[in-house]
Amino acid sequence: MNRREFLIDAAAATALFGLGPQSSKARDAEIQILLDEPIGTIDPNLHGHFIEHIGGVIYDGVWVGEDSTIPNIGGIRKALTDGLSRLRIPVLRWPGGCFADSYDWKDGIGPRSKRSCRTNFWINDPFLAQAPPGAAKYEPNAFGTDEFIRFCRIVGAEPYIAVNLRSLTALDFDHWVEYCNSPLGSTSFATMRAQNGSCEPYNVRFWGVGNESWGCGGNFTPAEYAGEFRRFATWIPEYGVNLRLIGSGPNADDFQWTRGFFEGLTAKGKAQLDTLFGWALHYYCGTSGKGDAVDFSIDDWYGLLKKADLMESLIQQHWSIMGEVDTEHKVKLVVDEWGAWHRAGTEVDRSFLFGQMPTMRDALITALTLDTFHRHADKVPMANVAQLINNLHCLFLAHEDKFVATTNFHVFEMYKAHQGGQAVRTMIGASPIPFTSPNGPSSLWGLAGSASLQKKRLVLTVVNPHVHEECSAEINLRGGSARSCTIRTLAASDIHAHNSFENPHAVEPQDTAVTLRDKPVWTFKPASVTKLEFELG
């Protein structure tokens, strides 16, 4: 059986507990949680994030400057650090993205007044051609390695640095590792780091060897990139740090890129697999229907959710191809760019390239994607949503002194309860939802989610994608029983609802007090994300 099969085994549907009355208008479903069938530990890094020097992510987003009248901590926007304090943000990727493919890390260290100003990678984008001049077009390098590490330390995240493989050398990579990780007094770069504010090494573990090397990162063939990876990954100084190198993986369903790289990487023997920790998959569920972030139809809603759901098959298929060469599955999948991508028009400032306004639709995409990662916790140890602020699938929007948390933020806050838990097999059956796609009649599953267990605490998260209908589900625990339960739901009466500077609390989760009873039913609101936390007996 799989999670999309409707379960009708009467013996298996024995009532364990009840949470509330069943609506007569609700669709029927069943959720079975198999407590004795673990999948793998949900690495906190699955809830990772990403910031790039693009549009308003860094400047006017993360960085406002030490002399700004906007409250800041050493130049970093305080409202952002306060918002992130409500999350357990595990890992943060930087400086790109495609920006990394033209970034010289030495431009971003030392006194800011002496740092070079460079043309930003994204300046050729037609959107920026009509934007006013500024940091989005010409990179001031005010935010560099030391500022990034300081930001990570403030918010409690581990740094993940993407290396420029397209236009710098393997020696530049070595030197960046040396600057970050060599002990005080051991090298000239260690002395330079101390002069720039940190005597102690940064001990950066995660390094991305290139970015989108099939495209903006060099336009390589799989075999060519495999050769470049071997060259960059050979004999890097470690300074006692267990370096975790991440290869530039495929764009969505480019299975030949994965197959060709693994064949090329092991052309000199399978020992080369030991140099690779993760293989980075990028997948954005692109525009559906109108392609607008806020103005969309019901069919657009279902169409984009279905596109987001492709993440599951991408993980399964790339994992299978990796296993053709890496038969022991030493290398894991790292989904270090994911999210929804809408057309321009809802950005909060004209210079914010790829800025967009997240709605309830994006919240459900966040939830169903995180649930997918949990169900594949044995394959995926890290993922990084793109991006943290003012860009694509963001958690926050900011401009000058204005700041707001988006619908996506609330999902991440709800889902942090899964971090470190043991994902357990969860089977959900519900009637599919029909809709009309550009290609004709289609359908989407009626209910989906994931579950994790930490000692006696069980966390179940569930997405009901139906725009109008509730869904009442029997919740059956195989191998245990519940003593108590708390429930939090993110929902809105309008699927287009979103938080804005003018109305920052339009969409917020609500808690529900429940009393366990005999009837094992909970009714999930339409177009909602729900978290149920059980204390087990």
Amino acid making up residue 283: Y
Clarify whether 52 is annotated catalytic: no
Beta carbons of 356 and 293 less than 8 angstroms apart: yes
Beta carbons of 246 and 278 less than 8 angstroms apart: yes
Q: What pLDDT sits at residue 537?
A: 87
Looking at domain 44-224+234-270+284-301+337-419, its CATH architecture is Alpha-Beta Barrel (3.20)
Q: What pLDDT sits at residue 289?
A: 77
Start-end of CATH 3.20.20.80 domains in the chain: 44-224+234-270+284-301+337-419
Q: In CATH, what number does 11-41+423-536 get?
A: 2.60.40.1180
Quickly tell me which residue has 């940091």 as its tokens: 135
CA distance to 287, 295, 412, 433, 466, per residue, from 290 (Å): 7, 8, 27, 21, 20
Clarify whether 337 is annotated catalytic: yes
Beta carbons of 217 and 211 less than 8 angstroms apart: yes
- Which parts of the chain have pLDDT scores under 70? 1-26, 518-520
pLDDT per residue over 223-258, tens digit each? 999 999 999 999 999 999 999 999 999 999 999 999
Catalytic site residue from 139, 147, 212, 228: 212
pLDDT per residue over 295-304, tens digit each? 999 999 999 9
Q: What pLDDT sits at residue 108?
A: 98
Catalytic site residue from 52, 337, 413, 474: 337
Q: What pLDDT sits at residue 25?
A: 58
Quickly tell me which residue has 């990579």 as its tokens: 173
Quickly tell me which residue has 């809802």 as its tokens: 346
Short-list 436, 435, 434, 460, CA closest to 448:
460
* Peptide bond between residue 387 and the one before it cis (omega within 30 degrees of 0): yes
Start-end of CATH 2.60.40.1180 domains in the chain: 11-41+423-536
Q: What pLDDT sits at residue 5?
A: 33
Q: What pLDDT sits at residue 32?
A: 96
How many other β-carbons are positioned within 10 Å of the β-carbon of residue 210? 25
Beta carbons of 51 and 100 less than 8 angstroms apart: no
This prediction's pTM = 0.94
CA 456, CA 480: separation in Å to the nearest integer?
10
> Dihedral sign, CA of 368, 374, 380, 384?
positive
CA 501, CA 151: separation in Å to the nearest integer?
24
Task: Calculate helix-pair angle for 255-265, 310-325, nearest 10 degrees.
Answer: 20
